Structure 1
């Protein structure tokens, strides 16, 4: 199966480096808005991302060495390498969180199911309500504080979820192995604010959690 052990070994080393560079931990993967290739963020509003471009370059070199390292079925091995590059890092993180992780390192957040709803109560008061699916994957209770942030792609994007920080602090307690829909609600004074949301729903809510001296971004 192996035609050139040197090329094959180089491919494996580069594959491991690429996976390490894209490991979605402690922060979630691609917490900024932008252009991604194979889950690698290569461009944001600030321009091209050197680390992302380097990762794609290393992955391309890895494929080159892999093709010359195996005797046959090069297409199969190339596809297997790409698929594993995309999915294996998340599997590793999940395994770690379910076994060795403690504190906020054991907390997972399903950003795709989160949302915040906004509605003007009067001319100067905005009501915000957010639903955030959090899960403690460890067996020990975890106490954390959370806050909100948002990423902008255009300079004229309106403020939305970051307005929820008017109600800080938000403390959350999760029992061992508990999966919980955290509901956060607050009234926001918008009398001095410009370019803010007035009504609607925002999905995919970005949050920051902190506890035990550690910080994670989703």
Structure 2
């Protein structure tokens, strides 16, 4: 609402270069928030707020061991953007209940949270491997899930990524 009013007032107050400036304002509105987040993480952030997570490159693979157990291997790409070492815990959560694999990912919290440590400016593919008891679930033949949503915790601070 406020953006619409601001763009309208900008457009009506200008005579020359009206279309160009309105277009520039819309582009800045779309790009500036992400740029500001990156600037904050790279410059001022500390602890878990300096951790960057590449959601698109994350993946969990599910391999059945027998009818009651499944082996899960999750690869989570994490980067510490600060100068200092950061130690934190990782938990899994469901952003959406789409497909069988996404229902299995939160079950990994039964063995968690998982401790992770990243040195200053370290980029690391964190591998978390565990066996899950799926005897109370239906039969499962295996598969994978990408775009795994996680929570990182440090003391009483928590971020969902």
Kindly tell me: are residues 211 and 73 of structure 1, through their superposed partners in 2, closer, same or farther at Cα, counting changes over 3 Å?
A: same
CA distance in 2, matches of 1:82, 1:197: 48
- Number of the residue aligned with 1:209: 152
- State how 1:10-89 maps to structure 2 within 5 Å: 57-89=1-33
1:120-165 deviation line (CA, Å, top 9, x unaligned): 11101011111111011000000000100112266xx431321221
CA distance in 1, matches of 2:83, 2:73: 29
CA distance in 1, matches of 2:13, 2:107: 54
- Number of the residue aligned with 1:106: 50
CA distance in 2, matches of 1:67, 1:81: 10
Q: Say whether the 8 Å CA contact 2:57–2:76 is kept in structure 1.
A: yes
Q: TM-score, normalised by structure 2?
A: 0.90
CA distance in 1, matches of 2:16, 2:107: 57
1:14-36 deviation line (CA, Å, top 9, x unaligned): xxxxxxxxxxxxxxxxxxxxxxx
- Number of the residue aligned with 2:124: 180
Aligned residues: 159
Q: Does 1:152 align with 2:90?
A: no
Q: TM-score, normalised by structure 1?
A: 0.68
Unaligned segments of structure 1, at least 5 residues: 1-56
Q: Relative to total residues, which structure has the larger strand share, 1 or 2?
A: 2
- Secondary structure of 1:60 counterpart: helix
Deviation at 1:199, TM superposition (A): 1.5
Unaligned segments of structure 2, at least 5 residues: none
Which structure exhibits the higher relative contact order, with contacts defined as CA atoms closer than 8 Å and separated by 6 or more residues?
Answer: 2
| 71-80 vs 167-176, which moves further | 71-80
- Secondary structure of 1:127 counterpart: strand
- Number of the residue aligned with 2:77: 133
Q: Does 1:199 align with 2:142?
A: yes
- Secondary structure of 1:171 counterpart: strand
Which 4+ stretches in 1 moved above 3 angstroms?
A: none
Kindly tell me: are residues 168 and 61 of structure 1, through their superposed partners in 2, closer, same or farther at Cα, counting changes over 3 Å?
A: same
| 161-170 vs 139-148, which moves further | 161-170
Q: Does 1:142 align with 2:101?
A: no
CA distance in 1, matches of 2:134, 2:50: 36
Deviation at 1:197, TM superposition (A): 5.8
